[in-house]
Amino acid sequence: MFVGQVPRSMDENDLRLMFEEFGRVHQINVLRDKITGASKGCCFVTFFTRKAALKAQDALHNIKTLSGDSICFFYFDPPKLN
């Protein structure tokens, strides 16, 4: 899932600690500037289960405040196989 309005001071470890409350996290990718390496304030989080992702989204979307901003989630369904 895409997560926006993430404080630029938070790294992958900080985010993992926050999201693992809702289930096992497979991967976290913080989007970074190609030149400076600084966080762009957003990331992609992949959980092992859809249930964990939805639990995090329900608990945090527009509710959890990080540095004064509401965290924003956009959930992406995995592609369907024929």
Domain boundaries, the chain: 2-74
Q: How far apart are CA 71 and CA 26, in angstroms?
A: 20
> For every one of its 82 residues, what pLDDT tens digit does the chain have, with 9 covering 90 and above?
998 888 888 899 999 999 999 999 999 999 999 999 999 999 999 999 999 999 998 888 876 555 656 666 665 565 555 5
**Residue 64 gets which letter from DSSP?**
S
pTM: predicted TM-score of the whole model, two decimal places: 0.78
Backbone angles phi, psi at 47, to 5 degrees: -95, 160
C-beta atoms surrounding 11 within 10 Å: 13
C-beta atoms surrounding 44 within 10 Å: 14
**Which tokens in the block code for residue 23?**
């289930």
Architecture field, domain 2-74: 2-Layer Sandwich (3.30)
Q: How far apart are CA 67 and CA 79, in angstroms?
A: 34
